[in-house]
Amino acid sequence: MNVNQIWQAALGELQLELTRATFDTWLRDAKLVAYEDGAFIIGVTNAYARDWLANRLHPTIVRILTRLA
């Protein structure tokens, strides 16, 4: 799988794991911006969304991406 396919697969798993409201609010519009030095760089709509994801979903996102990568 390439990194875009990994990101899409991760979004699919996150959609199943999170509530619909959480996924739709915080991840539906998230985009893979880059993959550098083994790190996925994800773009979101604003700093508040970035901070919310970093504080609440970062471990979940990392767990899923690590397993898929």
Q: pTM for the complete prediction?
A: 0.90
Q: How confident is the model at residue 1 (pLDDT cuts 50, 70, 90)?
A: confident
8, containing H or E segment: helix 3-17
Domains of the chain and CATH, by start: 3-68 (3.30.300.180)
What residue has token string 């985009």? 31
Residue-wise pLDDT for 6-61, tens only, equals 999 999 999 999 999 999 999 999 999 999 999 999 999 999 999 999 999 999 99
DSSP code per residue over 15-68: HHHS-HHHHHHHTTT-EEEEEETTEEEEE-SSHHHHHHHHHHTHHHHHHHHHHH
